[in-house]
Amino acid sequence: MQHYNHTSGVHTMQMYVSCEVRGDTAIKGLFQYVYDGRVILTFDVETDTWVAAMTEEIPLKQRLDKDIGWRAFVKNYQMRECKETLKKYIPHGKHILEQQIPPEVSVITPQMALSFTDVM
């Protein structure tokens, strides 16, 4: 990303997509672009536009806002696809989510730690 002056080295650009259940009925989808671990753009369903986290992202935001097909896809995911996908897959994993398993605890004493390093 040249506007960060990152023209060399290793950097990551990710698209973060999530779907949340809130209560019994409200479902919220989320689309974000993440660069080097920082959220740089988030799609706002209400305004049907991308929201830039920093002024450096405005050129990318403007480019994405012009892409009507991509905006329609993202909005459809957040409004419909997310909800349908969760309704389809949550029942399959519900029994796992509802399991009550007691926690396991392991304690390492200083003597155990020393004997472990002797083995190595």
Count: domains in the chain? 1
Query: In 10 A of CB 43, how many CB atoms?
Result: 23
- pLDDT value for 1: 52
- pLDDT value for 47: 92
Q: Is the pLDDT score of 18 beyond 80?
A: yes
Q: What range defines the domain where residue 11 resides?
A: 2-114
Residue carrying structure tokens 């392991």: 106
Cα distance between residue 67 and residue 69, in whole Å = 6
- pLDDT value for 95: 81
Average pLDDT of the segment spanning 67-79: 92
| CATH number of 31's domain | 3.30.500.10
Per-residue model confidence as pLDDT tens digits over 23-65: 666 677 889 999 999 999 999 989 999 999 999 999 999 999 9
Which residues fall within 8 angstroms of residue 21, CB to CB, at 6 or more apart?
27, 86, 90
Per-residue model confidence as pLDDT tens digits over 76-92: 988 888 888 888 887 88
Per-residue model confidence as pLDDT tens digits over 92-116: 877 887 888 888 888 877 776 666 5
120 is a domain residue: no
Predicted TM-score of the model (pTM): 0.66
96 is a domain residue: yes
Residue in 62, 81, 61, 63 with CA at minimum distance from that of residue 73: 81
- pLDDT value for 86: 81
119 is a domain residue: no
80 is a domain residue: yes
